[in-house]
Amino acid sequence: MKASESLYWIRASLGVAVGALSALYDYAIGWSPAKNDTAFFSDFFTGLAFALFFFIITYYLLKLHYFEKFKKKSKVITTGIGIYFLFWIVVWILLNTILH
């Protein structure tokens, strides 16, 4: 498997894991849409900050291994960024729906 493919699938699986962690965090703090109108937005931005935090941390960890394998150094950050956030939001919404 090429370096770009493995980086892509690592980011995809990290998106699933962080989406599950975000949903479990919401469940642990007792999120419910009936609390008030702004509860959704504050929880969404908390989850987004959680996803961005893990993306940045894993970027630096993955950069140690993949940085020398790419000709364009910006490919380390852009490879798999879309699938990471897509899987994060889908898993987060799905698990929030199931848990609540």
Contact 77, 2 (CB under 8 A): no
Mean pLDDT along residues 66-73? 82
Domain ranges within the chain, ordered by starting residue: 3-99
The two structure tokens encoding residue 46: 């908390």
For the entire predicted model, the pTM comes to 0.84
Q: Encode pLDDT of 9-44 as tens digits.
A: 999 999 999 999 988 888 887 755 555 555 656 677
